[in-house]
Amino acid sequence: MLDQAAWEKRAAEVKPDSKIYIDGSFVDAASGKTFESISPRDQKVIANIAAGDTADVDRAVISATKTFESGVWSEMNPRDKKPIMLQWAELIKSHQEELALLETLDVGKPISDSMTVDTTSAARVIQWYAETIDKTYDEIAPSPRNAIAMVTREPLGVVGAVVPWNYPMIITSWKLGPAIAMGNCIIVKPAEQSSLSALLLARLATEAGLPDGVFNVVTGLGPEAGQALARHKGVAKLAFTGSGPTGRKMLQYAAESNMKQVALELGGKSAHIVLDDCVDLDVAASTIAWGIYYNSGQTCNAGSRVIVQPGVKDALIAKIIAFLDTFKVGDPLNPNTQMGPIVSKLQRDRVNSYLEIAGKDGEQVLVGGKSTSGDDLMIMPTLIDKVKPTSRLAQEEIFGPVLVVIDAKDEAEAVALANGTEYGLAAAIWTNNIARAHRIARNLRAGTVWINTFDMLDVITPFGGFKGSGSGRDKSLHALDAYSALKTTWVDLN
Ligand code: NAD
C-alpha cells in the first residue's frame, strides 16, 4: 500500500472523467451545465461533473434501446459474453489504486477500506456474474407427453439504476453484474456526491470489449437526472438503492409513467441482541464497534442499536469504550486511518441534529456526542446509553457513527425491541446457545441475520430488507431473476 504522501501526490494530480457516458463516449450535458464534486476530506473541488437532465436521459435511453434491440449484447453467445465481463473484472483489479483514490476523495472513506473492500468487492461481483453467464440453465416444465413447455429467462431491456453515495462502487456493481450478465443494457445515475468511480467503471467496461451502449452513466442531481430516468417510458426496470423517502418517489414515478418494475433497497436500523449467555464479549464488543463505526456509520445495515441484557451490559460497554481508545479517526488518505469524515455538510448536519437531542430524555452520552460545524465534517464515534426504545435515536436511521444502547430484560423483550422499528434490513444475535440463536433468528423480521458475528457479506448470498428497508434483493443467483422476465413457450408435439 502507498504511504500518505504518495496518495496525497496522486490526489493533487488526479484528473477524473467527469462527463456523461453514453454509447461508449464521454459527452457534455445537453444543457452544458455542471456541478461541483467536493471532497469531504478538505472541501476542495475534485471535478466539475456534467449535470444531466431529461434531455441526457432521453439520449441514453435511445442509445441503450438501440443497442439492446440490435442484439449485439442481448443475443451474443454466452460463451463470448463471459470473457468480456471477466476482462472487465481484471481491469477493475488492475486499476484498483485509481478507483480507490476516486472513492476516497469523493466520499471520505479511508483509503485502506477503498483498496481492500470497495475495489476488491466490485471486481469480485463482476467476475462472479461473468461466471454465471455460461452456467445458468432455463427449465422444461413437467409437461404432458404430447407437449413441451419451456420456461426461459429473457432480458428486460433497458434497466435504470439510481444509487447512493455510501458504497458507490460496490452498490453499482450489484446492479451492473446481474443486469449485464442477463443481457440487458443499463443506465446508472450515480449519487451527485460520488459520480467518479461509476464513470471509470464504464470506461473500463468499454476497454474490456463491452459493446457501446450496454453500460451508460448519466451523472446529475437526483430530482433532475434521477427523476427523468425513473419516469422514462423506455426504461423497463428501476433498481434503486437509497433512502425511504426517495424510494417512495420511485414507486410514484413508476406508477405515473409506464409501471416499470421497481426494486427498492432502503435504509435500516439494525439491532445487535446481546444476551446474558454471550461468552466472548471481547469479540462481541469489537465486532459491534466495527459494525457501526466502519464507513463513519454510513452503512445501510450498520448495527446502530445494541439491545442488551443486564448480566453482560456493563462489561460489554466497557469493552466497546476500550476498543474506541485505539480506533484511528482522521485523514482518509492516511493508510492507518480507520474512520474518516462524514460525506457532506448536509449529512453532517443531519447527524448533528440527532446528537443535539441526546441527553434531553434521560440518555447518557458515554463517548463522543459533539456536533461539528463549518468545514469540520469529522464526527467522532459516539456511544449513547439509556436510550428509550421509542426515542428518535432508537427509531430513526441516523446514518452516522452513533451507537445507542437499549436495555432488555429477557429474550422475548429483546426480539420485540429488535423488530420494533419501521426497518428490517439486518440483525445480529450474540448467545452461546445455538438453539436459542436459531429460534431468535426465525423471529427476527430482517433480510439478513448474523449469529455471533456481523457484516459477513459476499456476492454468494442475497441482500435486502423486510418492511421499510425495501423489497428488492441484490446479489446471489436470485438477482439474475430480478433482471429478467420469465417466458413460457408451449410446443404441441402432436
Ligand atoms: P437518497 O435517497 O438521498 O439518494 C439516493 C439516490 O437517489 C441518489 O442517486 C440521488 O441522487 C437520487 N435521488 C434523490 N432524490 C431523487 C428524486 N427526487 N428522484 C430521483 N432520484 C433521486 O439516499 P442517499 O442519501 O444517497 O443514501 C443513503 C440512504 O441509502 C440511506 O437511507 C441508506 O440506508 C440507503 N442505503 C441502502 C442500501 C441497501 O442495500 N438497502 C445500501 C446503501 C444505502
The model scores a pTM over 0.95 = yes
189 lines ligand 1 (CB under 6 A): yes
Q: How far is the CA of 77 from the centre of ligand 1 (A)?
A: 35
Q: Please state the rounded mean pLDDT for residues 184-190.
A: 98
Give the β-pairing of 215-217 and 185-189: parallel
Q: Which helix (H) or strand (E) element contains residue 439?
A: helix 434-443
Which of these, 128, 147, 74, lies nearest to 483 by C-alpha position?
Answer: 74
Between CA 233 and CA 223 the distance in angstroms is: 17
pLDDT per position as a tens digit, 230-282: 999 999 999 999 999 999 999 999 999 999 999 999 999 999 999 999 989 99
300 is catalytic: yes
Give the β-pairing of 147-155 and 484-492: antiparallel
Q: Do 370 and 342 fall into the same domain? A: yes
pLDDT per position as a tens digit, 118-139: 999 999 999 999 999 999 999 9
CB 219 within 8 A of CB 20: yes
Q: Do 118 and 180 fall into the same domain? A: yes
241 lines ligand 1 (CB under 6 A): yes
Which of these, 54, 212, 255, 232, lies nearest to 159 by C-alpha position?
Answer: 232
Backbone angles phi, psi at 220, to 5 degrees: 150, 180
243 lines ligand 1 (CB under 6 A): yes
Grid cell digits, residue 183: 443481457
Kindly state whether residue 464 falls inside one of the protein's structural domains.
no
Q: How many domains does the chain have?
A: 2
| Closest residue to atom 9 of ligand 1, CA basis | 191
- Using a 10 angstrom Cβ sphere, with 0-12 exposed, 13-18 middle and 19 or more buried, the burial of residue 476 is middle
The Cα diameter of the chain in Å comes to: 78
Residue of 103, 185, 300, 397 marked active site: 300
Kindly state whether residue 65 falls inside one of the protein's structural domains.
yes
Q: Do 221 and 124 fall into the same domain? A: yes
CATH number where 332 lies: 3.40.309.10
Q: How far is the CA of 164 from the centre of ligand 1 (A)?
A: 4
Grid cell digits, residue 127: 467476475
Q: How far is the CA of 451 from the centre of ligand 1 (A)?
A: 28
Q: How far is the CA of 247 from the centre of ligand 1 (A)?
A: 8
397 lines ligand 1 (CB under 6 A): yes
pLDDT confidence bin for 180, thresholds 50/70/90: very high
223 lines ligand 1 (CB under 6 A): yes
Grid cell digits, residue 109: 472513506
157 lines ligand 1 (CB under 6 A): no
Look at the block and give the residue holding cell 454509447: 23
Residue 214: pLDDT above 90?
Answer: yes
CB 40 within 8 A of CB 351: no
Helix axes 196-208, 78-94, angle to 10 degrees: 130
166 lines ligand 1 (CB under 6 A): yes
Q: How far is the CA of 215 from the centre of ligand 1 (A)?
A: 20
Backbone angles phi, psi at 7, to 5 degrees: -65, -40
Q: How far is the CA of 299 from the centre of ligand 1 (A)?
A: 12
Report DSSP letters for 58-74, one per residue: HHHHHHHHHHHHHTTTT
CB 473 within 8 A of CB 464: yes
Q: Which helix (H) or strand (E) element contains residue 100?
A: helix 96-107
Between CA 278 and CA 74 the distance in angstroms is: 52
Q: Do 254 and 298 fall into the same domain? A: no
239 lines ligand 1 (CB under 6 A): no
What per-residue confidence (pLDDT) applies to 370? 97
Q: Do 247 and 283 fall into the same domain? A: no
What per-residue confidence (pLDDT) applies to 334? 98
pLDDT confidence bin for 318, thresholds 50/70/90: very high
CATH number where 483 lies: 3.40.605.10
Q: Do 44 and 138 fall into the same domain? A: yes
| Closest residue to atom 18 of ligand 1, CA basis | 223
Q: Do 130 and 275 fall into the same domain? A: no
Kindly state whether residue 493 falls inside one of the protein's structural domains.
no
Which of these, 161, 243, 165, 230, lies nearest to 422 by C-alpha position?
Answer: 243
pLDDT per position as a tens digit, 419-470: 999 999 999 999 999 999 999 999 999 999 999 999 999 999 999 999 999 9
CA torsion, points 248, 63, 206, 16, in degrees to nearest 10?
-60
pLDDT per position as a tens digit, 358-378: 999 999 999 999 999 999 999
Q: Do 29 and 140 fall into the same domain? A: yes
Kindly state whether residue 328 falls inside one of the protein's structural domains.
yes
265 lines ligand 1 (CB under 6 A): yes
**Close Cβ partners of 223 (under 8 Å, ≥ 6 residues apart):** none
Q: Please state the rounded mean pLDDT for residues 329-334.
A: 98
Pocket test for ligand 1, best of 117, 166, 292 (most atoms within 8 A of CB): 166
Ligand 1, atom nearest to 245 Cα: 2
Q: Which amino acid is at 198?
A: A
Kindly state whether residue 461 falls inside one of the protein's structural domains.
no
CB 447 within 8 A of CB 430: no
53 lines ligand 1 (CB under 6 A): no
Domain that holds residue 249: 4-265+469-488
Between CA 73 and CA 211 the distance in angstroms is: 7
Q: Do 440 and 476 fall into the same domain? A: no
242 lines ligand 1 (CB under 6 A): yes
Q: How far is the CA of 18 from the centre of ligand 1 (A)?
A: 21
- Using a 10 angstrom Cβ sphere, with 0-12 exposed, 13-18 middle and 19 or more buried, the burial of residue 448 is buried
pLDDT per position as a tens digit, 142-168: 999 999 999 999 999 999 999 999 999
What per-residue confidence (pLDDT) applies to 279? 87
| Closest residue to atom 16 of ligand 1, CA basis | 222
**Could you tell me the CA-to-CA distances from 348 to 296, 343, 345, 428, 433 in Å, in that order?**
11, 7, 5, 27, 40
Q: Do 128 and 207 fall into the same domain? A: yes
Q: Which amino acid is at 226?
A: G
CB-hemisphere CA count at 13 Å for 24? 10
CB 427 within 8 A of CB 444: yes
Ligand 1, atom nearest to 247 Cα: 2
Mean confidence (pLDDT) of the chain: 98
Between CA 24 and CA 137 the distance in angstroms is: 30
Q: How far is the CA of 166 from the centre of ligand 1 (A)?
A: 9
Residue of 224, 265, 363, 397 marked active site: 265
**Could you tell me the CA-to-CA distances from 53 to 19, 60, 210, 236, 421 in Å, in that order?**
13, 11, 25, 19, 36
**Close Cβ partners of 362 (under 8 Å, ≥ 6 residues apart):** 386, 388
CB 169 within 8 A of CB 199: no
Kindly state whether residue 462 falls inside one of the protein's structural domains.
no
Grid cell digits, residue 258: 409506464
Which of these, 262, 61, 76, 58, lies nearest to 180 by C-alpha position?
Answer: 76
Q: Do 277 and 251 fall into the same domain? A: no
3-state secondary structure of 272: strand
| Closest residue to atom 12 of ligand 1, CA basis | 222
Backbone angles phi, psi at 423, to 5 degrees: -95, 170
64 lines ligand 1 (CB under 6 A): no
Q: How far is the CA of 223 from the centre of ligand 1 (A)?
A: 11
Grid cell digits, residue 323: 476498543
Kindly state whether residue 444 falls inside one of the protein's structural domains.
yes
Report DSSP letters for 440-489, one per residue: HHHH---SEEEES------TTS-B--SGGGBS--BSTTHHHHHTEEEEEE
261 lines ligand 1 (CB under 6 A): no
Residue 319: pLDDT above 90?
Answer: yes
Ligand 1, atom nearest to 474 Cα: 40
Ligand 1, atom nearest to 267 Cα: 34
Kindly state whether residue 436 falls inside one of the protein's structural domains.
yes
Radius of gyration in angstroms for the set of CA atoms belonging to the chain, rounded to a whole number = 23
Q: What percent of the chain is predicted at pLDDT more than 90?
A: 100
Q: Do 405 and 481 fall into the same domain? A: no
